[in-house]
Structure 1
Amino acid sequence: MDRIIWHLLDHSFEKTEKEGEEYVILHLSENVAPYETVVLPLFEKDGMGELAGLVQKRILGLRGISAYYDGSRSIGRRYARADEIGVPWAVTVDHQSVEDGTVTIRRRDDQKQVRTSVDELLGHLNAGTLSGLF
């Protein structure tokens, strides 16, 4: 078992540099990642924190899907923390989210982002097809 875990970590670990600082990404499969997604309010004010909490609750209502909420420090630092532990998807709630109910989904492995409705996000999470949005 130890060798299997070592092999998994060895082949998933990437150390790179981003904006002059060391940046670590753990490219874990969604099947073994500690969480499927992290929910991040851009700020904890102007309704973004509350909406992000509601989005997280809706995600947690899906069978077998795990998500955590992170509202501390800068959005870049929060993305980095999620990347370091192998979370494949980040859901960001921003000013536009409060206005129209859409969120930004960020894919860990290439950091591409797409905007979608919360209902569409939930449907893709439930079906295991989030990558189809990209």
Structure 2
Amino acid sequence: FGIDRIIWHILDHAYEETEKEGEKYNLLRLNESVAPADVIVLPLFEKDGMGEVARELNSKINSMKGVKSLLDSSKSIGRRYARADEIGVPWAVTIDHQTIEDNTVTVRRRDDQKQIRTSIDGLLSLIISNNVSTLF
């Protein structure tokens, strides 16, 4: 049989097609241990220092042993959330105007789209200890 059937089984059970705001919406609910990345960092805009903070945070996360982070700054924030959901990234971290003011970020959970604000330092500690889910 080989590994093909196992991989297909994982993808088949994790894939969900729904409708959101009248449009088709794909969601890949992969277990965090097999997701292609642990986190995606999304600056709301490239201006006002948000892009720079996002690149710095992405670099810090990627420097952690065993942790993979992606960075996406193209298109609208909603479209970027959707792309991250489609490839199975469990956590999206948004850098916005408030981040610049108080060093907090919005963390979004893929499976139910719930969001919560937390400090960047607190988030980094949770990522390295694999405990981001304790935020919710």
Distance 2:32 2:106 in 1: 19
Unaligned runs of 5+ in 2: none
Output the TM-score relative to the length of structure 1: 0.98
Q: How many residues align?
A: 134
Match of 2:50 in 1: 48
Output the TM-score relative to the length of structure 2: 0.97
Deviation at 1:60, TM superposition (A): 1.0
Unaligned runs of 5+ in 1: none
Match of 1:69 in 2: 71
Q: Which amino acid aligns with 2:40?
A: V
* 2:45 alignment partner, SS class: coil
Distance 1:7 1:49 in 2: 38
TM alignment of 1:99-118, pairs within 5 A: 99-118=101-120
Distance 1:75 1:129 in 2: 25
Match of 2:84 in 1: 82
- Render the CA deviation track for 1:33-89: whole Å, top value 9, x for unaligned: 100010000011111111111111111121110001000000000000000000000
User: Kindly, what percent of the aligned residue pairs are identical?
Assistant: 63
Q: Which runs of 4+ in 1 moved over 6 A?
A: none
Q: Does 1:19 align with 2:21?
A: yes
Q: Which amino acid aligns with 1:9?
A: L
